[in-house]
Amino acid sequence: MNRKSCLATAALMLCLLATKQSNAQTTGSFDTTISFMSAPRAVSLYVPPSYTSATPHKLMVCLHGLGDTCTNYRTALAVGSAWAANMPNTIFVCPESWSRNADYYYPAGSEDIVQACIALARAAYNIDTTEIVLQGFSLGGRAALRYGLDHTATFKGLLLNTPAIQGVKQAINGGPYTFTYANAPQIPIYMTHGATDVLYTGPIDTTYEQLVLNNGVVRYREYPGLGHALPAIAGMIEFKTFFNAPKAAGLDLDIVKPIIAPKSCVATQPASCLVRNTGSDTIHSISLNFITTSGTYTQSWTGSIAPYQHAFVAIPAVTAPAGSNTLTVSVNTLDGGATDTITYNNSKAVPFNVQNTGLPTPYFEGFEASFPPANWTAYTAGDIFAQWDKDTDVKKTGAGSMYTFNTILVFDNAGRSDEMATPAINLTTGIAPRLTFDMAFNYHHYMPPVTLIDSTFADTLSVMISTDCGDHYTTIYKKGGAQLATFSSPILNPTSITADYIDPADSNWRMEEIDLSAYAASDKAIVKFSYKSSLGGSINIDNVKIDNSPVAVVDLSASKIAIYPNPANATLIIAGAEQMETVVITDITGRILKQITNDGDKQIDINTADLANGIYTAKMKSARSITTYNFVVAH
């Protein structure tokens, strides 16, 4: 320990000794103040009236949520919620955060108030140092997770009630606020979340998955009907036995996450499931049921999963009919028929879609009915506020549109994309397929006094197309910020969620048209709308249509385009009186072989030396027409 650390420790101990003299043996609920980081810090305590120094007591350090105070939290927790009654011989110590609107990790070093509270309690009371639990609710739960993972030897366990992880990006350590997940095997973690607290569903579920993937000793309970609140102590008192014996006796398999492609163009596809062992005995064989409406597919796995280790069980193929489906994975048997100790974690389900045949054109979706529409597929980044949804207030026509938005007022999800994919569409029935959609968009601009400097937050819309059922996508449209905007000026200084939204007049809608003729050979083309966050923007899309372009298609004899020589050997020359924007060369099956974008020349030389002898089609598009011409290659 260096001299500076010794002096700081000595000063803290002198302060705590002084506190011990004034608060020694005080019982019940009371408040005190300690000197921490050269400033007074409020601390609220509850000591059982029956306390006697002859009995070592357990200690729970409790971190409150945003906007609360340590006094309110101590009173609500220990007395109002009857925690003290359910945890005899336990002392509760609740420190104030640096401010009501700050996390315990601000400013730097402030998180060590946890250690100061432990020292405070030990200086005044007989504390069993093997029975110290760190608890936190909301932002206090987030701080408790971070601090506990970095100080695993200090605590018997972490009790996290709705830890307010600020978005999925933060949960995967995508920002400056990070968690040392690698330490998760070293400390039991009991985590709760209310099922109706939808803002934190994605972040908390992702945090749980990260803990599992790092083989963390974690138990996660979701409570139906509960919002952003503490569950009743009687419904989670099992955390005490969990901290004493984290491994369930015998064998227990936890079904963590079924995995299957959200969209498939074939009826049969592979699937897998993330599982883990939360029992005391090593699991050597697993039999899982993969269930769809087509039946049950049983898959066996053999190997070795030690307590709190994880594995992926893969099944080569599951079959499902066309349309919306659900894959349910459940435990069949373990180790040839052994009893599974805990049953509430034995089954999980995920949705997926199968579409064997591309829908014919023209295809139209106006977002009038349920959302997502039939055979559309959502690819979410995890944060519910940024996911595409139906908007019945804003629409170009009809009763609704689809919308999403991003803002600096919620979570940092910058760089993450939420996407919606259309059904597979058969583009082979027309010679000039196109995509059109109506769109309204605006971005956000902040300036003093709301911000110190001018700041622009502008999201980006990309439209992509796949011809291989989503394995690969090609971007065919990309605009963001002022280029994408349909308003003359950005949304200025929005300071509420309501102010983030757009309310477009008819003049604030714009129809976008995208040429799909280069993909006319695809009988199952999928278009994806991808909205990438830069923390600012609100977008509505309506009247998505895939049909054939109304641009006239003329014969070569009626045009002013010359194509020669025919047959071609090494080069085909295309010359015309007007500029051709694109030339697409296809074989007799419609397969695209070459696509040339013209930079302005009225003559295009196409290399045919690499084409086999045969008949080909050249499709030439100008601003006013599309011309097709068959030619022969003969070497």
Cα 284–chain centre separation: 33
CB atoms within 10 A of CB 316: 10
Q: Is residue 99 very low, low, confident or very high in pLDDT (cuts 50, 70, 90)? A: confident
The SS3 call for residue 556 is helix
The SS3 call for residue 215 is coil
Q: What is the rounded average pLDDT for all residues in the chain?
A: 91
Least trusted range by pLDDT, from 69-83, 438-452, 497-511, 597-611: 597-611
The SS3 call for residue 46 is strand
pLDDT of 6 reads 38
Nearest to 491 by CA among 440, 417, 418: 440
User: Which amino acid is located at 72 in the chain?
Assistant: N
CA distance linking residue 618 with residue 32, whole number of Å: 85
CA distance linking residue 171 with residue 412, whole number of Å: 11
User: Residue 503 gets which letter from DSSP?
Assistant: -
Is the dihedral angle over the CA atoms 229, 234, 235, 241 positive or is it negative? positive
CATH topology assigned to domain 3-244: Rossmann fold (3.40.50)
CATH topology assigned to domain 552-633: Immunoglobulin-like (2.60.40)
* pLDDT above 60: residue 19: no
pLDDT tens for each residue of 514-527? 999 889 999 999 99
The DSSP annotation for 137-195 comes to: EEHHHHHHHHHHHH-GGG-SEEEEEEE----HHHHTT-SSS---GGGGGGS-EEEEEET
Whether residue 56 has a cis bond before it, omega within 30° of 0: no
Beta partners for residue 443, in sequence order: none
At 173, give phi and psi (nearest 5°).
Answer: 60, 40
The alpha carbon torsion through 10, 12, 13, 17 (nearest 10 deg) reads 140
pLDDT tens for each residue of 244-300? 999 999 999 999 999 999 999 999 999 999 999 999 999 999 999 999 999 999 999
pLDDT of 586 reads 84
CA distance linking residue 139 with residue 125, whole number of Å: 28
Nearest to 486 by CA among 510, 502, 464: 510
User: Which amino acid is located at 277 in the chain?
Assistant: N
CA distance linking residue 538 with residue 386, whole number of Å: 10
More confident residue, 587 or 301: 301
More confident residue, 631 or 590: 631
Q: What is the mean pLDDT of residues 304-322?
A: 95
Class of the CATH-defined domain 363-548: mainly beta
Is the dihedral angle over the CA atoms 534, 540, 542, 548 positive or is it negative? negative
* pLDDT above 90: residue 8: no
Distances from the Cα of 263 to the Cα of 268, 410, 472, 529, angstroms: 12, 30, 13, 15
Answer yes or no: same fold for 253-354 and 552-633: yes
User: Which amino acid is located at 227 in the chain?
Assistant: G
- Which percentage of the chain shows pLDDT scores above 90? 78
Answer yes or no: are the C-beta atoms of 402 and 499 closer than 8 Å: no
The residues, ordered by sequence, that sit 6+ positions from 572 with a Cβ below 8 Å of its Cβ are 563, 564, 565, 566, 605, 606, 608, 618, 631
* pLDDT above 60: residue 361: yes
Q: Where are the domains of the chain?
A: 3-244, 253-354, 363-548, 552-633
Class of the CATH-defined domain 253-354: mainly beta
Answer yes or no: are the C-beta atoms of 96 and 61 closer than 8 Å: no
Nearest to 123 by CA among 7, 34, 63: 34
At 335, give phi and psi (nearest 5°).
Answer: 45, 45
Whether residue 321 has a cis bond before it, omega within 30° of 0: no
pLDDT tens for each residue of 172-208? 999 899 999 999 999 999 999 999 999 999 999 999 9
pLDDT of 14 reads 36
Reported pTM: 0.83
CA distance linking residue 91 with residue 140, whole number of Å: 18
User: Which amino acid is located at 386 in the chain?
Assistant: A
CA distance linking residue 257 with residue 207, whole number of Å: 13
Answer yes or no: are the C-beta atoms of 64 and 73 closer than 8 Å: yes
CA distance linking residue 443 with residue 484, whole number of Å: 9
Q: Is residue 557 very low, low, confident or very high in pLDDT (cuts 50, 70, 90)? A: low
pLDDT of 554 reads 46
Cα 581–chain centre separation: 40
Strands 157-163 and 189-194: parallel
pLDDT of 618 reads 86
More confident residue, 529 or 593: 529
Q: Is residue 587 very low, low, confident or very high in pLDDT (cuts 50, 70, 90)? A: confident
Where is 17: in which H helix or E strand? helix 3-23
pLDDT tens for each residue of 401-420? 999 999 999 999 999 999 99
Q: Is residue 552 very low, low, confident or very high in pLDDT (cuts 50, 70, 90)? A: very low
CA distance linking residue 447 with residue 429, whole number of Å: 52
CA distance linking residue 566 with residue 616, whole number of Å: 11
Q: What is the mean pLDDT of residues 584-612?
A: 83
The SS3 call for residue 290 is strand
For 185-194, b/e burial (b = at least 16 CB within 10 A) is bebbbbbbbb
Burial of 209 (0-12, 13-18, 19+ CB in 10 A): middle
The SS3 call for residue 443 is coil
Least trusted range by pLDDT, from 35-39, 503-507, 561-565, 599-603: 599-603
* pLDDT above 60: residue 1: no
Strands 625-633 and 614-622: antiparallel
